[in-house]
Each structure stands twice: as C-alpha cells, then as structure tokens.
C-alpha cells in the first residue's frame, strides 16, 4: 500500500474507532449548532456505519470516510484536509476545471502534453457524471458552485477514487477517457510522489518549465494578470472604465486595502470614468474586517455608485470573507453583479478551528462563528448575478473574457438589478395595476431570466402568512393566488395557500388547495408535507 505510514505504527481498528467516537462526541457537545443541513440522527447513522466498517477498511478509506462524515454539514469551512502529514494523499498530475461546455484538463504535468486542453469523458471507464456523483460526498459542498470550484479535483486523489469505488484497488495510475480536436482517446496518469502537489494558484495551473496550461500564453486577459498581487487596477480609456481585480481579502505589504481603494476612487474622480468594475471571481476570502473601507469608499463614490455604473464580477471561487464583501456591496450600493453565483451561502458558519483526533493526530476543521450579513428570510445558497455569464473552454484557451465584456458593454436603461425588490415596492405602495402589468412582462423578459420570481414571490407570501395576523394572512392568499396565475403548476403555492386557509379556519378551501399540491408533487417533499397537513385537518 503506497500510502503506508513510514516511521509510524499502523493504527489498530479500535484506535480508529476511538477517534471516530471522539469526533461524534465533540460535535454533539461543542458544535451542535452545525446541525443545519443535516440532522443529528442522519449524522449518527453515518457514524455507526463507518464504525462497523472500520475493521474491514484500509487506512485511506477510513480517512475518506471521516471526510464524508464531516462533509455532511455542507459548510465550506468545515472539512478534513487530505494534505496532513504523515497521512497526506498522493495526487495525479492534472488540474480539472469546469467550463460551461464540460470539465477539461486545464493544466497538467509536461509529461502529458496530449492531455492538456482535453475534455474529460470518463474516469476508469465510468462516465464523468457518475464519477462526480461518487466523489461529491467527500467534499464540504456549501453549494453546487463550491463543488465546481473546490470539489471536482478530488478526482485526482487515488485514495478518494478507491474509497468511493471508482477504482477497485488503491492504485497509483488512473486512465481518463478524453476528447480533443474531435478525437476520443485514453490517457493514463501516474501519481506524483507523496508530498508533491499540483501547483495551482487561484484555481489554475500556470505555464512553467514543468507544467502546461491549456491557455494560449502569448497574451493574458486582465483577470489573470498580476496574480502575484492581491489587487491591481487599470484604467480602460476606450471604455472609460476603471477595472479592479481583487483576489484575496488581505493587505499587500506595499499598499493596504484602504490605501489601494482610496487611490482607485481618486483616479475615478480625476479620469473620465463612466464605469467601475471590481472583479472578485477568483477571491476565496481572508480577513473580512478589511471590507469596511471598500464599502465606505463605494458609498461615497457618488459618481460611480449608480445603477449601470458599478459592476462586480462574481464566480464559483468567490467564497468566505469575499462572500461578506459581496453581501455588503449588495446591501449598501447600486451594484450590478455579473458572472456566476458565489461559492458560499449568503449567511454561513465560517472561521474554523482544528480539532485533533487523539490517536491518529488528524485535524478536522470545524466552523465556530456564524456570519450573518442579511436577515434570515433573505438567506440563500449564494448571491446570484443580475447578468449571468459563463465561460467556455475555447474562450478560456483563447484568452477571451465574456464576463468582463458583458460588464463593459452593458447599457440597458431602467434596468432593475433586484427585480423582486422592485415588485415588492409596487405591491407595498399599492400600485396594483402597474404590478399586474409589469410582473408578467418581467417574467417573460430574457433580461430577467436570472431571477427566480416564483421563489421570490413565495417568500413574500410566506412572510405574510407567518405573521399570524388576519389581514396579513388574507394578503398572503392574494400573493399565492397571483403566483398561481403566473405559475399554475406551483405545488408550493397551493400548499402555502392551504396553510393560509387553515389559519383562517376555512378547511374546505384548505382541503382543495392541499389536494392540488399533492397532485402536482405526489412523490416529492411538498406533496408529502401537504398530505400530512391534510391528514391533520380531516382526522
């Protein structure tokens, strides 16, 4: 077994089981607040399954099993690292990246020149979709964007592939089925020596004497320039735009975050600047106490803090303290977000501390601080862009940047970057006729395809319903009825409508609405809940 510890005795099954009980007890006693996306019962069930399996597992399978267990909490700061000495896992020498047309080998060791830039079709003969599904439980998947950015490269660990049954044995070679230049072929990769890592920076392998990048290196797009710097800015005279790329939330030694943005805002005032574009797509976080000066500067920048002038690029690597920055920009400025959704929940458990297992010495990282920048009712899987733009592999390889282009060229008068806020304002101000005219048009307008109007309206109706006051409950029924006019197959709207009628003691109408919800979602959770509610009022 090439992961066998050197200069250390192999732990017994009983010792690993003792470590597992330590994890279980520690989480229940000190971190029970993490039971948000999973239940104590499901967690305990997984613990018992792993406990029973340990005598029949190899060391790496146990470690991956612990990772699966910790990943149940689905918070990106709560995880088990596979890079802990002396247990660190070997890696295959490639870097995967998910573009809008598939998963590609973005970078690889120079020994595999044919593979760089190839689309991944299968791993060990198994379709890539099946492999991704198999490895996902080993990743602390905060949301699907997090998995795309930070999770898919668990494929390059031989230990994970074996533990998740992609390979039959622990092996230091893997064969990928690839497609490149309209040809399908296989390529076998040999694992790097233990302790040697794939040299990624901001999610990419960059060209050097030993590693290959699929991107044409003759030129470099702005978002990949000066990656040795935390932030840099440049004035784009042709577009009359100031571009800032900010890739970590920390200070540079030469220029603090406060001083950097003070200089940027000064240049905006002195130049003929019509747009400010802040690029946060590669920003994985840092010290969110540094966000304050950025927000203060944006609020004061009257020249640029207007809809259509302030753009922030976000993406699947936007995470942690940068999520806090995105939240605050959203709260306090007239921003338009461009790109892809972020990798972090809007409100989240962050800031972890290591908990050391008594026998193996492995550290598990457990979050202990709750970060809440928005009301609980506004919590969501992520911050989504108002201008959704993704990138294809060919655009990456040829140094195009459709995301920045979208921000630079966007010019839509009277654009509503927060359409639900606009709809709610019409409702609250009693402009019912305008609401009736505007809402259907916005739902059909491709410009607002990014907005989940149904979910947004359901949230409004549910807030009214949960107030418990008769006038608000009656208003919630109006909202649910409006939803059903626009989305006639909304099982949730019927379910909530049924609950509202129950609150008004109109069980006949409640029964009618609940039955409709059940018929629309007979096998789903909504239908199941509707059945339970219906049973309560009819028995």
Report the CATH number that the domain containing residue 238 is assigned in CATH.
3.90.226.10
Pair 238, 134 in one domain: no
User: Strand 102-109 vs strand 211-213: parallel, antiparallel, or unpaired?
Assistant: antiparallel
Whether the CB-CB separation of 249 and 258 falls below 8 Å is answered with no
Would 283 be classed as within a structural domain? Answer: yes
Per the document, the length of the chain is: 539
Cα–Cα distances (Å) from 336 to 268, 306, 371, in that order, read: 18, 9, 23
Pair 271, 394 in one domain: yes
Would 472 be classed as within a structural domain? Answer: yes
Q: Which pLDDT tens digits describe the chain residue by residue (539 residues)?
A: 333 344 457 899 999 999 999 999 999 999 999 999 999 999 999 999 999 999 999 999 999 999 999 999 999 999 999 999 999 999 999 999 999 999 999 999 999 999 999 999 999 999 999 999 999 999 999 999 999 999 999 999 999 999 999 999 999 999 999 999 999 999 999 999 999 999 999 999 999 999 999 999 999 999 999 999 999 999 999 999 999 999 999 999 999 999 999 999 999 999 999 999 999 999 999 999 999 999 999 999 999 999 999 999 999 999 999 999 999 999 999 999 999 999 999 999 999 999 999 999 999 999 999 999 999 988 999 999 999 999 999 999 999 999 999 999 999 999 999 999 999 999 889 898 999 999 999 999 999 988 999 999 999 999 999 999 999 999 999 999 999 999 999 999 999 999 999 999 999 999 999 999 999 999 999 999 999 999 999 88
User: Strand 336-339 vs strand 310-314: parallel, antiparallel, or unpaired?
Assistant: parallel
Pair 190, 260 in one domain: no
Pair 196, 119 in one domain: yes
Cα–Cα distances (Å) from 45 to 49, 383, 446, in that order, read: 6, 33, 45
Q: Considering its fold, how many domains does the chain have in total? A: 3
Helix 432-444, helix 453-466: angle, nearest 10: 140
Whether the CB-CB separation of 128 and 184 falls below 8 Å is answered with no
Which residue reads 């509707």 in tokens? 530
534 is in which domain, residue-wise?
Answer: 452-538
pTM greater than 0.75 (yes/no): yes
Q: What are phi and psi of 387, to 5 degrees?
A: -120, 90
- Answer whether the bond into residue 86 is a cis peptide, omega within 30°: yes
Would 421 be classed as within a structural domain? Answer: no
Which residue reads 């491709």 in tokens? 446
């Amino acid at each position: 077994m090439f992961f066998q510890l050197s200069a250390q005795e192999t732990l017994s099954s009983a010792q690993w089981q003792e470590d597992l009980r330590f994890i279980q007890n520690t989480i229940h006693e000190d971190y029970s607040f993490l039971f948000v996306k999973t239940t104590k019962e499901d967690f305990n069930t997984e613990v018992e399954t792993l406990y029973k399996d340990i005598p029949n597992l190899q060391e790496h399978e146990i470690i991956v099993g612990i990772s699966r267990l910790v990943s149940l909490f689905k918070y990106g700061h709560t995880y088990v690292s596979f890079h802990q000495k002396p247990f660190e896992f070997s890696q295959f020498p490639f870097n995967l990246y998910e573009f809008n047309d598939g998963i590609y080998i973005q970078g690889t060791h120079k020994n595999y020149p044919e593979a760089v830039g190839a689309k991944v079709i299968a791993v060990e003969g198994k379709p890539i979709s099946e492999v991704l599904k198999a490895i996902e439980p080993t990743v602390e998947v905060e949301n699907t964007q997090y998995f795309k950015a930070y999770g898919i490269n668990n494929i390059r660990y031989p230990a994970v592939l074996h533990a998740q049954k992609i390979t039959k044995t622990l092996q230091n070679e893997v064969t990928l089925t690839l497609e490149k230049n309209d040809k399908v072929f296989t390529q076998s990769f040999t694992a790097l020596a233990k302790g040697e890592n794939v040299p990624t920076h901001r999610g990419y392998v960059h060209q050097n004497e030993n590693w290959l990048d699929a991107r044409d290196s003759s030129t470099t797009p702005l978002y990949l320039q000066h990656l040795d710097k935390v932030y840099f800015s440049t004035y784009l005279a042709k577009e009359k735009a100031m571009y800032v790329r900010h890739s970590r939330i920390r200070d540079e030694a030469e220029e603090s975050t406060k001083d950097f943005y003070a200089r940027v805002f000064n240049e905006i005032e002195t130049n003929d600047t019509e747009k400010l574009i802040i690029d946060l797509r590669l920003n994985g976080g840092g010290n969110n106490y540094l966000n304050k000066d950025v927000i203060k500067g944006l609020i004061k920048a009257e020249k640029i803090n207007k809809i259509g002038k302030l753009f922030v690029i976000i993406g699947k690597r936007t995470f942690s303290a940068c999520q806090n920055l995105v939240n605050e920009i959203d709260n306090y400025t007239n921003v338009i977000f461009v790109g892809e959704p972020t990798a972090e929940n809007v409100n989240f458990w962050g800031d972890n501390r290591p908990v050391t297992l008594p026998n193996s010495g492995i550290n598990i990282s457990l979050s202990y601080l709750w970060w809440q920048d928005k009301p609980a009712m506004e919590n969501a899987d992520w911050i989504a862009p108002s201008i959704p733009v993704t990138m294809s592999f060919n655009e990456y390889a040829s140094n195009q940047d459709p995301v920045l282009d979208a921000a630079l060229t966007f010019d839509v008068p009277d654009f509503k970057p927060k359409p639900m806020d606009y709809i709610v304002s019409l409702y609250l101000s009693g402009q019912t006729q305008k609401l009736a005219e505007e809402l259907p048009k916005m739902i059909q307008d491709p410009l607002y395809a990014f907005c989940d109007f149904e979910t947004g309206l359901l949230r409004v109706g549910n807030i009214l319903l949960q107030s418990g006051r008769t006038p608000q409950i009656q208003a919630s029924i109006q909202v649910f009825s409006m939803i059903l006019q626009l989305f006639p197959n909304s099982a949730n709207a019927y379910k909530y409508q049924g609950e509202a009628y129950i609150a008004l003691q109109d069980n006949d109408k409640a029964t009618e609405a609940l039955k409709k919800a059940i018929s629309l979602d007979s096998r789903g959770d909504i239908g199941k809940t509707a059945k339970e509610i219906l049973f309560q009022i009819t028995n």
